[in-house]
Amino acid sequence: MKYMEIRVRLCKILILIMAGIAVAVPVVNAKIVVDVNRGHADPLPIAITDLIGNESDIISGGSVKNYGQRIALVVKADLTRSGLFQMVDSAAFIKSANPLTTLRNPNFNNWKAIGAQALMNGSISLQEDGRLKVEFRLWDVLGSNQLTGLRYFTSPKNWRRIAHLISDAIYKRLTGESGYFDTRVVYISESGPATARVKRLAIMDQDGHNHVFLTNGKNLVLTPRFSPTAQEITYLSYFDDNPRVYLYNIDSGKQEILGDFPGMTFAPRFSPDGNKVIMSQAFKGNSDIYVMELTTRRIQRLTSHTAIDTSPSYSPDSRYVTFNSDRGGSQQIYVMDADGKNIKRISFGKGRYSTPVWSPRGDLIAFTRQYRGKFYIGVMRPDGSGERLLSESYLDEGPTWTPNGRVIMYFRQQPYDSRGRGGETQLWTVDLTGYNERQMITPLDASDPAWSPLIR
């Protein structure tokens, strides 16, 4: 009997334990799970404040405070041009009694109130050695925490570059990829009538400032391309009516002929490691693709076909080359192994495809497409899928990528009117969304741009 009683009691206890667990477990784990797969692609609202500086410290070009304001303006312009950020109007900023105290401890509620989701503040001061000390901090307003903070020491004449470096740091921290503001663009500056066009090699910062002509215009220059690793440009120039591929060192101003090839060489482009130049060479009426090692000057032929093969461009891992060819009857884009094997056509749309350029990210190839009297700049995946056209006009051509693969620059020619007026050429940029299309302002007409890698 005792055993029976014990059993019954134990069973009761057991049932109670089990019931308790059955109730408790789900309550402990109670949570609602929401899947969100729709959102908005609006620019991120960011507040950029002037760098706080001393008005009484004067250096060439203005006071330190003035430099702080100018740096903030350049940062704002950079980020706005990217299309990914929206500047919060500085008129809405709530002034602090002592701005210096808020540098390390911003009042996030104030910034939240005016709609800012990110905030940049900072200071600038003059050092005893005549250099500027520039420091900034980037804050997550909603999370009330610092995202990044950097300090630079530089000569006052480099203030613009410091501003671009700050823009790059902000861009990288908020988008996850490298910025492209501390870069330059080399292009062909054009002037004069169509029958006697003067073409000069020119270089400028990516925002159009610090513009310099590199050649005097005596000889025709075409297709400039940046080296990915050094401040070098390769381009095609006609000297004594002979087209040759040249190397130009931006720092030293030195120029040299890359090679003396039989026939005509054109469309040169560096390999991603900067050790090779890939180009087209026309010989006896046939154009094929060649690659030259810069150290040994050894040349290797990659294609051998009766069709015109041109505009080669390496993939970022150097394993593949894309080029255009009319071997299929019309001009189309092809991809082959870096040794010239396994040639595959990847473009199959209507019209003609040309000037393929592999994105530095490796995920896309930019191209020019001509169809029904219009030109388009577009992108497709390296297997030819996912073609998207980003720009359209009377004549768009010659895409070049930013080092982060987010933006494409190209040149656009305006149509001629019935009196023969028009035909101006300009540089334009468009980002991968296709919505943020902007004109770059240049002193003269401009064509054939090439975006530099990040300046080191």
Partner 1 sequence: MRDAVIISVIFHFVVMASGMVALPMLRPDRPDIMKVIPIEVIKIGDVTKLRTQEKKPDPIIKKPNKKSPERKVEMPPEPPKLASTMPLPDMKSKPKPKKKTTIKKPTKVTSKRAPRITPKTKPRRFNAGKLAVLLDKREQSEPDILEKLKDRDYGKEKVISTIDIQQQTLSLIDAIDKHIYDNQCWNIPAGAKGAEGLRVTIRFRLSPEGELIGSPKVVDSGRMNSPGQEFYRTAAESALRAVRKCAPYDFLPKAQYDLWRDMEIIFDPEHILSS
Minimum CB distance to partner 1 smaller for 8 or for 58: 8
- Reading across the β-sheet that carries 388-393, which strands appear in turn? 352-358, 365-371, 374-380, 388-393
Residue pair 293/274 in contact by the 8 Å Cβ criterion: no
Chain-centroid distance of CA 69 in Å reads: 26
DSSP character string of 206-239: TTS-S-EE-S-SSS-EEEEEE-SSSSEEEEEEEE
| Minimum distance from residue 21 beta carbon to partner 1 (Å) | 5
Q: What is the Cα–Cα distance from 180 to 387, expressed in whole angstroms?
A: 24
Question: Which DSSP symbol is given to 444?
Answer: S
SS3 288: strand
Minimum CB distance to partner 1 smaller for 28 or for 194: 28
Minimum CB distance to partner 1 smaller for 117 or for 442: 117
Exposure class string for 347-368: b at 16+ Cβ within 10 A, else e: bebebbbbbbbbbbeeebbbbb
Give the helix/strand (H/E) hosting 313.
strand 309-314
Q: What is the Cα–Cα distance from 299 to 16, expressed in whole angstroms?
A: 85
| Minimum distance from residue 25 beta carbon to partner 1 (Å) | 6
Minimum CB distance to partner 1 smaller for 210 or for 433: 433
Minimum CB distance to partner 1 smaller for 30 or for 194: 30
Binding residues for partner 1, rule: CB under 8 A, are 3, 6-7, 10, 14, 17-18, 21-42, 44, 84, 117, 140, 142-143, 172, 174-177, 361, 363, 405-406, 431-433
Question: 64-82 and 159-175 helices cross at what angle (nearest 10)?
Answer: 40
Single-letter residue type at 193 = P
Minimum CB distance to partner 1 smaller for 82 or for 265: 82
Minimum CB distance to partner 1 smaller for 18 or for 441: 18
| Minimum distance from residue 17 beta carbon to partner 1 (Å) | 6
| Minimum distance from residue 24 beta carbon to partner 1 (Å) | 7
Backbone dihedral angles phi then psi of residue 317, each to the nearest 5 degrees: -90, 5
| Minimum distance from residue 255 beta carbon to partner 1 (Å) | 37
| Minimum distance from residue 252 beta carbon to partner 1 (Å) | 35
Minimum CB distance to partner 1 smaller for 108 or for 394: 108
Minimum CB distance to partner 1 smaller for 41 or for 196: 41
| Minimum distance from residue 285 beta carbon to partner 1 (Å) | 42
DSSP character string of 73-101: HHHHHHHHHHTSEEEPPGGG----SSGGG
40 exposure class (CB count in 10 Å sphere: 0-12, 13-18, 19+): exposed
Residue pair 336/302 in contact by the 8 Å Cβ criterion: yes
| Minimum distance from residue 95 beta carbon to partner 1 (Å) | 25
SS3 275: coil
Q: Which residues lie below 8 Å from residue 424, measured CB to CB, with a gap of 6+?
A: 413, 414, 445
| Minimum distance from residue 399 beta carbon to partner 1 (Å) | 16
Q: Which residues lie below 8 Å from residue 101, measured CB to CB, with a gap of 6+?
A: none
Residue pair 259/243 in contact by the 8 Å Cβ criterion: no
Minimum CB distance to partner 1 smaller for 323 or for 358: 358
| Minimum distance from residue 196 beta carbon to partner 1 (Å) | 43
Q: What is the Cα–Cα distance from 271 to 265, expressed in whole angstroms?
A: 17
